[in-house]
Amino acid sequence: MTNEKNRHVIPGEVIVSGQYRAEQNTVLDGDKVLATVIGLSDIHDGNVRVIPLTGGYYPKDDDLVVGKIASHSAMSWEVDINSCYAGMLPATDVFGRDFSSHSDDLSSKLKNGDLIVARIVNADKTRDPLLTISGRELGTIDSGELIEFSPSKVPRLIGKRGSMIQMIEGATGAQIIIGQNGMLVVSCDDPNGLLKAIQAIELVEEKVHVANLTDLVNEMLESKGE
Amino acid sequence: MGGRDTDIVLLDENGIRSDGRKVNETRKVSIKAGVLKNANGSAYIEFGENKILVGVYGPRDVHPKHMSDTDTGILRCRYHMAPFSVGERKNPAPSRREIEISKVIKEALEPAVMLKQFPRTAVDVYMEILQADGGTRCAALTGASVALADAGIPMRDLVAGCAAGKAADTVILDVNNEEDQAGQADLPIGYMPNLEKITLLQLDGVLTPDEYKKCIEIGIDGCKQVYEIQKKALQEKYFSNGEGK
């Protein structure tokens, strides 16, 4: 079976025909596998998928997201997670099991506009995705620069096994929290490092489909480093 | 429609139409994807003298809430002609014709758009006719499908639109305004080229069964030509400065 990478496809385009499994962003029509979005096709061990180059964020279980508190009811917070579905953060997740809607005030812990790093516990689309902020590396964000990035380009920003993001962090000294939903928080003690990290992120967004992107970003990081 | 008397020669003795085209030739079509910053997806299409701007939003929350469907997303289309799109000022309020065209375009796009993936959401398509010259519904449909793809909404296939028809007792491809007014029939077609399925088919006028078959045949051929231009527009936006294979 052939392994083929990175062919540019548009919706409806036949990626391959024969005995293949249609995975993310593809659909089967007889024995033909068609792309459903604009992106790069990837055939691996008989599995065909398309890595999208455009489109919004659709919550998946276990995704790490950065969200902004939008409002709250008596029992939960509604969180803007840059998606067509609003995230739901239950009050019990923050107050613990002895939460009482009579005595506890939700706005005392998280106010509208607060940023959080959360994990998606349950996203079945029949209901709004359920979030949690209890866990390692989860919780509120106190400082940093919020950047809105294109969600479909997040995998490219992370790179293979985190290579791209590690390179940017290493060269600038910045800490970058990447939400799968395309919301990023960059923090750095050195203002120049912060600026450079943001420029590098913007470069990735702009040149997302270029093959030697890592070299390009490396070049940019080094050239302005002196 | 219905072969009104006119001074214009719709087809001369050499088989050339009033605007210089051959019987099976489409008008010049050009499409640009991603022209609007504030919409999630957009396209600008020039189909001969037709000029149409399409903006797509979504998937997003449904307002009013009672319209939302727990099993699937919904598609909402608005086809609107600008007051300056035609010779005499057009009242900008939605007319009976615009409401009908919005409905048929919505139904022509629905088989392509995979709305089941986004329950409780809506995808909104706004088509603004800036200049009209016959065949706007096909042109708007063509542009809408490019804008939907630009917005990253999953689609089984692109939908290409092109009309066939009859003028001066001859079957012609891509009917323009004069041919629509003075001709004998107009048959707009929406077609998914990879799935080989027709999603829009209307007929205004009278055709014999043989003429009808011929119209479908050349109409689909026209759609395939339009599809190539749609494809080029998307490739230009997304892959032009990369090293595509």
pLDDT in tens, A165-206: 999 999 999 999 999 999 999 999 999 999 999 999 999 988
The first and second tokens of residue B16, run together, are 């050339």
Averaged pLDDT, A201-212: 84
The first and second tokens of residue A90, run together, are 């239950």
Pairwise pLDDT comparison (A160 vs B245), residue with the higher score: A160
Distance from CA of B186 to the nearest CA of A (A): 28
List, for residues B75-129, the tens digit of each pLDDT value.
Answer: 999 999 999 999 999 999 999 999 999 999 999 999 999 999 999 999 999 999 9
Q: Which residues pair with A120 in a beta bridge?
A: A131
* Ramachandran sector of residue B233 (left: φ over 0; alpha: ψ -120 to 50; beta: rest): alpha
Q: Which residue of A has its CA nearest to B116?
A: A125
The CATH number, out of the four listed (2.60.40.2220, 1.20.1530.20, 2.40.50.100, 3.40.50.300), of the domain defined by the range A4-52:
2.40.50.100
Separation of CA B143 from chain center: 6
Q: Dump strand ranges (E) for B82-212.
A: 121-131, 160-167, 170-173, 185-192, 197-201, 204-205
% residues pLDDT > 70 (chain B): 96
Pairwise pLDDT comparison (A224 vs A87), residue with the higher score: A87
pLDDT class of B168 with cuts at 50, 70, 90: very high
Q: Which residue of B has its CA nearest to A12?
A: B157
Q: What are phi and psi of A158, to 5 degrees?
A: -75, -40
AA identity, residue B26: T
Interface test with B, best of A6, A36, A51 (most B CBs within 10 A): A36
Instruction: Classify residue B215 by burial, with Cβ atoms within 10 Å: 0-12, 13-18, 19+.
Output: buried
Does a structural domain hold residue B123?
yes
The CATH number, out of the four listed (3.40.1190.20, 3.10.640.10, 2.40.50.140, 3.50.50.60), of the domain defined by the range A64-141:
2.40.50.140
Torsion of CA A21, A56, B123, B34, to 10 degrees: -100
Contacts of residue A87 in chain B, CB cutoff 8 Å?
A: none
Q: Dump strand ranges (E) for chain B.
A: 29-33, 41-47, 50-61, 74-81, 121-131, 160-167, 170-173, 185-192, 197-201, 204-205
The first and second tokens of residue B149, run together, are 């793809």
Interface residue B2 vs chain A (CB under 8 A): no
Q: Which residue of A has its CA nearest to B233?
A: A10
pTM equals 0.91
Give the range with max mean pLDDT: A131-135, A211-215, B1-5: A131-135
DSSP for residue B113: B
CB pair distance less than 8 Å for A209 and B150 = no
- CB-CB contact of B159 with B109 (8 Å): yes
Domain CATH for B82: 3.30.230.70
- CB-CB contact of B142 with B54 (8 Å): no
- CB-CB contact of B25 with B174 (8 Å): yes
Q: Which fold has domain A145-223?
A: Ribosomal Protein S8; Chain: A, domain 1 (3.30.1370)
Q: What is the structure's pLDDT at A9?
A: 95
Does a structural domain hold residue B112?
yes
Q: What is the structure's pLDDT at A98?
A: 87
List, for residues B121-141, the tens digit of each pLDDT value.
Answer: 999 999 999 999 999 999 999
pLDDT class of B244 with cuts at 50, 70, 90: very low
Q: What is the structure's pLDDT at B245?
A: 38
Q: What is the structure's pLDDT at B184?
A: 95
AA identity, residue A42: D
Q: What is the structure's pLDDT at A156?
A: 85
